Amino acid sequence: MRDRVAAAGCDTPILAGVMPVTQIGTIERSVQLSGAPFPRALAERFERVADDPEAVHRLGVEQAGEMCAKLLDEGVPGIHFITLNRSTATREVWQRLRADARV
């Protein structure tokens, strides 16, 4: 999207909004609220660990961290974390990015 906006001549910075999945129900709620589909392959990975809340949390932090790293590597000017008053996972993502020296 960023590239299409820039190609149209707009130079307004676009910040990515990232919300780590920390509970299985988050996936369904995000689809309902945004109207955007959740990637099927990723949903299948979450389904495989759905009975283990800690594994869901770990996978969510891992995937959000990888997404943020890719966004930063591609030059996004910033990332907006959506926490819904649950900042633990966001802090964990931030720590992963710092450990990788991306921030």
- Residues 13-68 have pLDDT tens digits of 888 899 999 999 989 988 998 899 999 999 999 999 999 999 999 999 999 999 99
Contact between residue 72 and residue 97 where contact means Cβ atoms under 8 Å apart: yes
**Burial class of residue 102 (count of CB atoms within 10 Å of its CB; 0-12, 13-18, 19+):** middle
Q: Retrieve residue 2's tokens.
A: 């960023």
Given this model, what pLDDT does residue 103 score? 62
Amino acid 30 reads S
The answer for 60, left when phi > 0, alpha when psi is -120 to 50, beta otherwise, is alpha
Given this model, what pLDDT does residue 85 score? 82
pLDDT at 69 over 80: yes
